[in-house]
Amino acid sequence: MSAGLPPAGHEEPLRLVDGRSVAVRVVGGPDDGPLVAGLFDRLSPEAMAMRFGSARRGLSEAEVRRMSAAPGPEGLGFLALARGAGGDRAVALARMDREPDAPEGEFSVAVDDAWQGVGIGTGLLERVLAHAAGCGLDGLWAGVRPGNRRMLGVFRALGGDVREMAGHDEVLVRLPVVPDDELEEAEAARFARAAAASLDPMFRPRAIAVVGASRDPAKPGGAVFRAIRRSGFPGPVYPVNPAAASVDGVPTHPSVADLPEGVDLAVVAVPAERVIEVTRQAAGRGIRAMVVLTSGFREAGPEGRALEDRLLHVARTSGIRILGPNCLGLAVTDPARPFDATFGPASPPSGRMAFASQSGGLGVGALAYCAEHGLGLSAFASMGNKADLSSNDLIAWWDQDERTRVVLLYLEGFGNPRRFARLARRVARRTPIVALKAGRGAAGRRAAGSHTAALAAGDAPTDALFALAGVVRVDTVEELFDVGQLLAGQPVPAGPRIGIVSNAGGPGILAADACDALGLVVPALSPAAVDAVRAAHPTVAGPANPVDLGAGAGAAAMAGVGEALIASGEVDAVLAVFTLLAGGDAAEAARAVQSLADGRLCVAGCMLGAPVPVPPPGAEWPVAWSEFPEVAARALARAVEAGAVRHRAPDPAPPVPGVDRAAARAVLDQAEPGAWLPPAAVEALLAAYGIPFARARIARSAADAAAAQAAIGRPVAVKLLSSTVTHKSDVGGVVLGCASPAAAGMAWWTIEGRLAARRRQGEMEGVVVQEMAPAGLDLIVGAVADPVFGPLVLAGIGGVQAELWRDRALALAPVGPRAASALWDELRGAPLLDGYRGGPRADRAALADVVMRVARLAAEQPLLAELDLNPVRALAPGSGAVVVDARARRAP
């Protein structure tokens, strides 16, 4: 039971429903015995009775040793730690234990009386279940006292089968460990609630302290202190500086420990080695949030990494949230409690866009861009090292923030991609998320040796993640804010139909071309709609869509025709393109277009020949303006993507029938770590998940090959068997259509001769004699365990040219039935599956079933590193699909 086991001492945070946090550590460290013993010593007699059946006190030495044992074949435990007066103390323990090679195990959980009801037990059990699944267990069992209603409620929430047995003093509980969509959705919801609760002190502080506030305004501590005071924050702002009596005329405090009560947020700008002590003092003063500007942590090498880990431990056990370290800061524009705790050159104007950046430098440029163009933000957060706060926490907060209409992200990496996908998918149904992800280049990941790994490398997993999460991806910073501005001020389009109105023919045509290129629809108007356009502007030059008002048209004509398009019900958004001509009035045209934006439809504007309109002081203009039609069309296309997310039906990934998880696990267990599986093992692995595979036998000689053909009794393909040759056809290692034993035996000699001619005869380990599949379309289905994104499933056009065409679609595994079908629709070659130009049609249902089974195999078998099914022969509708060739590699 080694797969999926974290090392002893591995630590991560657990957010609680009341906003606090604890540190969760894998049990097994040298100090864990006393911590476990102390937890049970503090349990009340009632809690001990619920756990052990009698109101006993404490644990025996043997029980302490067992419960604090390091991870191993018999199980593992998770310990929740919180900071007490004398240091760390254990407040909860969850374990799973099992007999050697048993398919199921036993779980147990104990929670300190003072920490019950805040989600610790649920959070620990979720981690136990995840690692039990990674170790190949089918389920976990426990006996629970009937009176322990609170814990029974936790088990039911986790999908447990709770059986009350008549005549017994225990309730039998079984928790399933297979991936479950509903339970994962529930976990994401709990995380969102806990994350949002924990960030209230950071985004809505009563008082702020600046630790390291400097008299020098050029230093970060001095710049931030002055920025907070200038921003109009209504509460106290306390400078902390032991070397100065005052900063900017405000008396200082020598240390955090000397601060008055009521400080919620500390902004820290002291040397890295002092930050941990500042955090301890902050915990003692009840401070719940910190923005750490200081660098010199994880980004600085091994010593900085160790320092950051110690900082995180103190913060987690103290319930303090940290933004950073190594960040630009935080700004909130809420009129009731605004503050700018950043040291950039510009403060963001107030607005509806929330922006989080993993790069401080990009944050500086973005804030300056927003100030220059009048783009309003509800908040700005520089994530820095993302040691604690990540984009997951921030989107959970902004989703419940009434001032935020759209979330913008600049990301350089993902801490927990699976949680990001779950959480973003929930949030994007209400609050659009637009992301710019750096690192698109092909230098991202090195392929591991199969078609699947080569095709899944690079930036493709990010696209798959965003597609699952419903995140709109953009390519540039400018596009990020173009789309953000549109979504912040306008309703999300319900569909792709765009109505275009222009006072010049050329720009209107360019707008239509751009829409068409981006997958939007510029529909022809019905006769009734054309009549309405003519009624609104009788001298219209072109009443079709795009509507050409004519060069002499003014603002009133644009407003009237725009109203006619909206009222027609034939478009989902309106793009108004105004070209300033001699005698025209750009400001009047801008006001006319603004009048159309009353919340019925999405309205976008484009102004040619004049500066982009800005609202007069005190006014709020909801329409986003662009300089060129293509820019406006691109923003509309991304807004339509955001709208599609809202209307996307749930697509849970159900278990597939006919699966033997234990058999698949046994096949992978027997393989050498990091090695490619032999053909018979690959066939057994596929059979365990019901994936159809053409009959095959291994032959070690020409006589064996002849005998194998005779046993199969049908025409066969004879293929090279080699652990060093990836692409057999490249070395002449495939002979097709051997219809007799003699032909199969001759194929052996042919392949051996071809290898000998290349001086590679020593790489031949035999041949695979395989039944020839019926004629059909050759496709590829595969899976790969990505080190960042986890298991991925791939579908594409296959055969020997799979990597040449690189026509593939990728998804995070497991997948639901709609996602499995949609993967094939994403291919450029999708028309081939539907009988392109008279060709044979493919069994779409069978192909979707293969994808679902491969995805489930990848998700449930952590020992699988790569699976490459190429080709998968797609047969006629109703005839299924069959795997012709397959490779599988065990994880190292």
Which tens digit of pLDDT belongs to each residue from 864-882? 999 999 999 999 999 999 9
Tell me, what DSSP letter sits at residue 732? T
Q: State residue 164's pLDDT score.
A: 67
**CA pair distance 793, 791, nearest whole angstrom:** 7
Cβ pair 679, 884 in contact under 8 A: no
Q: Which amino acid is at 762?
A: G
DSSP, collapsed to helix, strand or coil, labels residue 93 as strand
Residue 575's φ and ψ, nearest 5 degrees, are -115, 115
Grade residue 454 by pLDDT with cuts at 50, 70 and 90.
Answer: low
Given a cut of 80, is residue 7 above it in pLDDT? no
DSSP, collapsed to helix, strand or coil, labels residue 810 as strand
HEC sequence for 147-163: CCHHHHHHHHHCCCEEE
DSSP, collapsed to helix, strand or coil, labels residue 722 as coil
Ramachandran bin of 112, using left for φ above 0, alpha for ψ from -120 to 50, beta for the remaining angles: beta
Q: Which residues of 680-717 are buried (b: 16+ CB within 10 A; e: fewer)?
A: ebbbbbbbbbbbbbbebbbbeebebbbbbbeebeeebb
Q: State residue 682's pLDDT score.
A: 96
* Mean pLDDT calculated for residue range 681-707: 95
Q: Which residues of 818-852 are buried (b: 16+ CB within 10 A; e: fewer)?
A: ebbbbbbebbeeeebbeeeeeeebbbbebbbbbbb
In 103-227, the DSSP E strands lie at 104-111, 139-144, 161-164, 171-176, 208-211
**CA pair distance 482, 652, nearest whole angstrom:** 33
Q: What is the CA radius of gyration of the chain?
A: 32
**CA pair distance 464, 467, nearest whole angstrom:** 5
Highest mean pLDDT among 49-63, 97-111, 703-717: 703-717
Task: Give the DSSP H or E segment for 79.
Answer: strand 75-84
Count of CB atoms situated within 10 Å of the CB of 747: 26
Q: State residue 414's pLDDT score.
A: 84
* Mean pLDDT calculated for residue range 86-93: 93
Given a cut of 70, is residue 116 above it in pLDDT? yes
**CA pair distance 569, 684, nearest whole angstrom:** 57
**CA pair distance 596, 564, nearest whole angstrom:** 10
Q: State residue 456's pLDDT score.
A: 67
Cβ pair 439, 393 in contact under 8 A: no
Q: Which amino acid is at 462?
A: T
470-482 pLDDT, tens digit per residue, is 999 999 999 999 9
Q: Which amino acid is at 144?
A: V
Grade residue 85 by pLDDT with cuts at 50, 70 and 90.
Answer: confident
Of the listed ranges 165-174, 407-416, 693-702, 776-785, the one predicted with least confidence: 165-174
Nearest C-alpha neighbor of 475 from the set 631, 271, 586, 330 = 631
Cβ pair 522, 546 in contact under 8 A: yes
HEC sequence for 239-300: EECCCCCEECCEECECCHHHCCCCCCEEEECCCHHHHHHHHHHHHHCCCCEEEECCCCCHHH
Given a cut of 90, is residue 154 above it in pLDDT? no
**CA pair distance 833, 852, nearest whole angstrom:** 18
Given a cut of 70, is residue 167 above it in pLDDT? no
Residue for token pair 């820095």:
384
* Mean pLDDT calculated for residue range 767-790: 93
Q: State residue 445's pLDDT score.
A: 39
Nearest C-alpha neighbor of 374 from the set 615, 125, 646, 549 = 615
**CA pair distance 404, 524, nearest whole angstrom:** 36
**CA pair distance 536, 512, nearest whole angstrom:** 21
596-638 pLDDT, tens digit per residue, is 999 999 999 999 998 877 777 666 778 989 999 999 999 999 9
Given a cut of 80, is residue 720 above it in pLDDT? yes
Token digits for 375?
A: 């783009």
Tell me, what DSSP letter sits at residue 19? S
Cβ pair 880, 846 in contact under 8 A: yes
Q: State residue 618's pLDDT score.
A: 66
Residue 639's φ and ψ, nearest 5 degrees, are -65, -35
Residue for token pair 């039609």:
629
Of the listed ranges 69-83, 137-151, 365-379, 861-875, the one predicted with least confidence: 137-151
Q: State residue 491's pLDDT score.
A: 96
Given a cut of 80, is residue 891 above it in pLDDT? yes
**CA pair distance 182, 156, nearest whole angstrom:** 13
Pick the more confident residue, 760 or 152.
760
Pick the more confident residue, 655 or 783.
783
Interstrand relation of 766-771 and 734-738 (parallel, antiparallel or unpaired): unpaired
Token digits for 554?
A: 């003014």
Given a cut of 70, is residue 539 above it in pLDDT? yes
**Percent of the chain residues topping a pLDDT of 70:** 96
Grade residue 182 by pLDDT with cuts at 50, 70 and 90.
Answer: confident
Cβ pair 321, 361 in contact under 8 A: no
Count of CB atoms situated within 10 Å of the CB of 261: 9
**pTM for this predicted structure:** 0.90
* Mean pLDDT calculated for residue range 731-755: 96
**CA pair distance 806, 825, nearest whole angstrom:** 15
In 313-428, the DSSP E strands lie at 321-323, 329-332, 339-342, 350-357, 377-382, 406-411
Alpha helices in 390-447 (DSSP H): 391-399, 417-428
**CA pair distance 594, 322, nearest whole angstrom:** 41
Q: Which residues of 441-455 are buried (b: 16+ CB within 10 A; e: fewer)?
A: eeeebebbebbbbbb
267-281 pLDDT, tens digit per residue, is 999 999 999 999 999
- How far is residue 101 CA from its own chain's centroid? 34
Q: What size, in residues, is the chain?
A: 892
* Mean pLDDT calculated for residue range 773-799: 93
Token digits for 65?
A: 């040793």
Token digits for 40?
A: 């049970």
Task: Give the DSSP H or E segment for 460.
Answer: helix 460-469
Grade residue 87 by pLDDT with cuts at 50, 70 and 90.
Answer: confident
Q: State residue 452's pLDDT score.
A: 65
Burial of 17 (C-beta count, 10 Å sphere; 0-12/13-18/19+)? middle
Residue for token pair 């593939």:
808
Grade residue 1 by pLDDT with cuts at 50, 70 and 90.
Answer: very low
Average pLDDT over the chain, rounded to an integer: 91
Interstrand relation of 377-382 and 329-332 (parallel, antiparallel or unpaired): antiparallel
Q: State residue 446's pLDDT score.
A: 38
Residue 22's φ and ψ, nearest 5 degrees, are -135, 160
Q: State residue 168's pLDDT score.
A: 66
Q: State residue 443's pLDDT score.
A: 42
811-855 pLDDT, tens digit per residue, is 999 999 999 999 999 999 999 999 998 888 999 999 999 999 999
Q: State residue 2's pLDDT score.
A: 40
Q: State residue 3's pLDDT score.
A: 47
